[in-house]
Amino acid sequence: MDPLLLGFIGIGLVLVLLAFRVPIAVALATVSVAGLFLLRGWRASFGTLGSLPFDFASSFTLSAVPMFLLMGAVAYHTGLTSSLFRTARVWLNNTPGGLAVASNLASAGFAAASGSSLATSAAMGRLAIPEMLKYGYDKALATGTIAAAGTLGALIPPSIAFVIYGWYAEVPVGALLIAGFLPGLLTAGIYAVMIVGRCIVNPKLAPKIPETITFADKMRALRDVWPLPLLIAGVIGSIYAGIATPTEAGAVGAILALVIGAALRQLTWRNLIISFAEALKTTASIFFIAIGAILLTRFLAIAGVPRFLTAFVTEIDPNPTLVILAMCAVYLVLGMFLDPLGVMLLTLPIFLPIYKSLGVDEIWIGVLVVKLIEIGLLTPPVGLNAYVVKGVVGDAVPLTTIFRGLLWFLACEVVIMALLIGFPAISLWLPSLM
């Protein structure tokens, strides 16, 4: 069989297996090993299966992944993030939709500590949704805010998605992490403007809370929130100043979280064991998917698929903007059905050679890719953040209500993506100063 035809058949088989709900890591690895066997024989196939996973897992760059995950787990279980919502709530009490805006901004802070969208939605959902429902907030607004704000976890550093993308695309991980900072703040800001605007137009969405909060109360609230800014500054500052590599910054963050938790007397043996267990479990899951993806990359490379697609795109000489818009469409469709990391690792072997042939900045593309896979967390039928929030609220709010609340945030994402594509400097300005 023609190798190129076999490569495209392999891509089709992966999509078919995913449609039948085969785990993405298993689908990628199975098709890749079978394809390599048909192309090069059993010795090359099993030789690749024996060497590539080890080469991947032993990469020094990827050791940042368990470090960032450990930092987020320790920060959560020692209570370093619990004061975020309370402080934001006190300061934004008189703002239209104050609790929703506070939840949005607190999620941005939590995301900077955890690096995980799902963890941000779960943690902030437990804190903020009961409070909003207690004061009569619209259920769609309350749950939609938490589900959408959770996506900030992949943009605001530290970000596991940026570490994986940087390793795969062979671009500086530190520059990627810093590049996500302004797009993350832009997303949080546009979300906040939309919430306030809706609540001004329709005050019934967020009834005013009858509380009197003095300036002294606000200052007292600020005293409880210092550990998290210190933790974030330690990680981002060490990368931006060039004091530490992203991998070393992950270790800095994990150690800082442990030291702060111990100083506050919140770091118990139980919290420590749970944090390590969560970090190990999530790391194993991420690495399993990534190993399947690099096996697929090897199979497609030998079959000649990336070379064929690159030559095809180069020959028709397209406008890079049109290629990026086509990429957006592909990511949005796949994001409706697959988990974000799986979407990214499934598509990078196909798209990256095209970007390189067009001379597109790969750091900018990395920001767009991570942003797109996070939008997939909000889109039905498999918007994972919506299901996480549903798990938090139980039967109190129907899933359809959560998705209805997310429609406003998806409209915001159209504006945000237009700005990021139209003005690459939003993503590239901070990295250019490093």
At residue 314, the pLDDT reads: 65
Can the peptide bond before residue 318 be classed as cis, meaning omega within 30 degrees of 0?
A: no
Rounded-to-integer distance, Cα 367 and Cα 180, Å = 6
The H-assigned helical ranges of 243-383 are 246-263, 269-303, 305-316, 320-335, 340-358, 362-375
Question: Alpha-carbon distance 253 to 57, whole Å?
Answer: 21
**Predicted local confidence at residue 199, as pLDDT:** 93
d(CA 419, CA 313): 25
| Tokens 């897992």, located at residue | 57
Under a CB-based contact definition with an 8 Å cutoff, are residues 252 and 244 in contact? yes
Task: Please check whether residue 227 is in contact with residue 260, taking contact to mean a CB–CB distance below 8 angstroms.
Answer: yes
Give the model's pLDDT for residue 313.
Answer: 66
- Residue 163 is predicted with a pLDDT of 85
Upper half-sphere CA count for residue 198 (Cβ side, 13 Å): 25
Token representation of residue 176:
């990627």
Tokens of 229: 């800014």
Q: What is the pLDDT of residue 221?
A: 73
Query: Dihedral (C-alpha) 93, 97, 102, 107: value to the nearest 10 degrees?
Result: 170
| pLDDT tens for the 434 residues of the chain, in order | 688 888 888 888 888 887 787 887 888 888 888 888 888 888 878 888 778 788 777 777 777 778 888 887 887 778 776 677 777 878 887 888 888 998 888 888 777 776 677 777 877 887 788 888 888 899 999 999 999 988 887 788 778 888 889 888 888 888 898 899 899 999 999 999 999 999 999 999 988 877 777 777 777 777 777 777 788 778 878 877 778 877 788 788 888 888 888 888 888 888 889 988 988 887 888 788 778 877 887 888 888 877 777 777 666 666 788 888 888 888 887 777 677 777 787 788 888 888 887 788 899 999 999 999 888 888 876 677 888 888 878 888 888 899 999 999 999 999 999 999 999 999 999 988 86
Buried b (16+ CB within 10 A) or exposed e, 30-48: bbbbebbbebeeeeebeeb
3 state DSSP class of 377? coil
